[in-house]
Amino acid sequence: GDKAFAQFLTDEIKEEKKIQKHKSLPKVSGGWELEVHGTEARLVRKIAGEKITVTFNINNSIPPSAEEETQEEQKPDEQEPELTSTPNFVVEVIKDDTKQTLVLDCHYPEDEVGDEGEEESDIFTIREVSFQPTGESDWKDTNYTLNTDSLDWALYDHLMDFLADRGVDNTFADELIELSTALEHQEYIKFLEDLKSFVKCQ
């Protein structure tokens, strides 16, 4: 069984490498620096007196609906639809002279990705906003967290503009999907390779 499994993995790795769009990770325009630690990626950008950090994790970032449809509707000769990774991402804005970090928790609404019809609509939404002490890795549940579900739309618009002024806009969100998808695919191939060596190991 293990031999057949290893052979299957070898073929699968070959196939995945064939369809791999990016040999190296795509860049995000606007002077963002990328750091990757396993499945977590961080984009950092410094502007006058501020540091903006966007963090996301590719685990569980592929919407489930995409995978379910492929099994049922696929005809043998059809290309599998491309899976895109749309991770939640957290934007942290740190001002040099304050002890607080503004944290905005953003995500891609599942139904809106791919709706090209409405030019005006944003491809990502802000879900939660809070302040966290700068430099502390553990966020405190005792800090007030603003949920945007019941938020005054004017305030919400200002928050979106605030992000756009710092380079987090639709273009950024599109490029983030591209980066995340490439990263997810790269990690998937690496996982298959690790699995192959694990299975082969006697």
Question: How many residues make up the chain in this entry?
Answer: 202
Residue 80 has pLDDT above 70, yes or no: no
Structural domains of the chain, count: 1
User: 111 vs 152, which has greater pLDDT?
Assistant: 152
Residue 88 lies in domain = 1-58+82-109+119-201
Averaged pLDDT for residues 170-184: 96
Is residue 77, in this structure, part of any structural domain at all? no
Residue 97 has a pLDDT of 83
The 3-state DSSP class for residue 39 equals coil
Q: Which of 153, 97, 151, 161 has its CA nearest to residue 129?
A: 151
Give the C-alpha separation, 116 to 86, whole Å: 16
CA dihedral 183, 185, 186, 189 (to 10 degrees): 160
Mean pLDDT of the chain: 86
Averaged pLDDT for residues 78-94: 84
Is residue 5, in this structure, part of any structural domain at all? yes
- 3-46: pLDDT as tens digits: 999 999 999 999 999 988 878 899 999 999 999 999 999 999 99
Residue 70 has a pLDDT of 43
Task: Determine phi and psi for 182, rounding to 5 degrees.
Answer: -65, -40
Residue 171 has a pLDDT of 95
Instruction: Specify whether the CB–CB gap between 81 and 70 falls below 8 A.
Output: yes
Is residue 193, in this structure, part of any structural domain at all? yes
For residue 71, name the pLDDT band (cuts at 50, 70, 90). Answer: very low
Averaged pLDDT for residues 157-161: 96
- The DSSP symbol for 84 reads -
Q: How many CA atoms lie within 13 A of 179 on its CB side?
A: 26
Is residue 114, in this structure, part of any structural domain at all? no
State pTM to two decimals: 0.84
For residue 100, name the pLDDT band (cuts at 50, 70, 90). Answer: confident
Is residue 66, in this structure, part of any structural domain at all? no
Residue 111 has a pLDDT of 64
User: 59 vs 66, which has greater pLDDT?
Assistant: 59
Averaged pLDDT for residues 60-88: 66
164-193 burial, b for 16+ CB within 10 Å, e for fewer? eebbbbeebbebbbbbbbbbbbbbbeeebe
- Kind and range of the H or E element at 50? strand 50-57
Residue 18 has a pLDDT of 92
- 116-158: pLDDT as tens digits: 444 558 899 999 999 988 877 676 777 889 999 988 999 999 9
Residue 113 has pLDDT above 70, yes or no: no
Is residue 150, in this structure, part of any structural domain at all? yes
Averaged pLDDT for residues 60-78: 58
Report the CATH number at residue 150.
3.10.280.10
Angle at 77 between CA 65 and CA 70, to 5 degrees: 10
Is residue 142, in this structure, part of any structural domain at all? yes
- Cβ-proximal residues to 60 (8 Å cutoff; 6+ apart), any chain: none
Is residue 74, in this structure, part of any structural domain at all? no
- 159, two tokens: 């928050």
Residue 108 has a pLDDT of 95
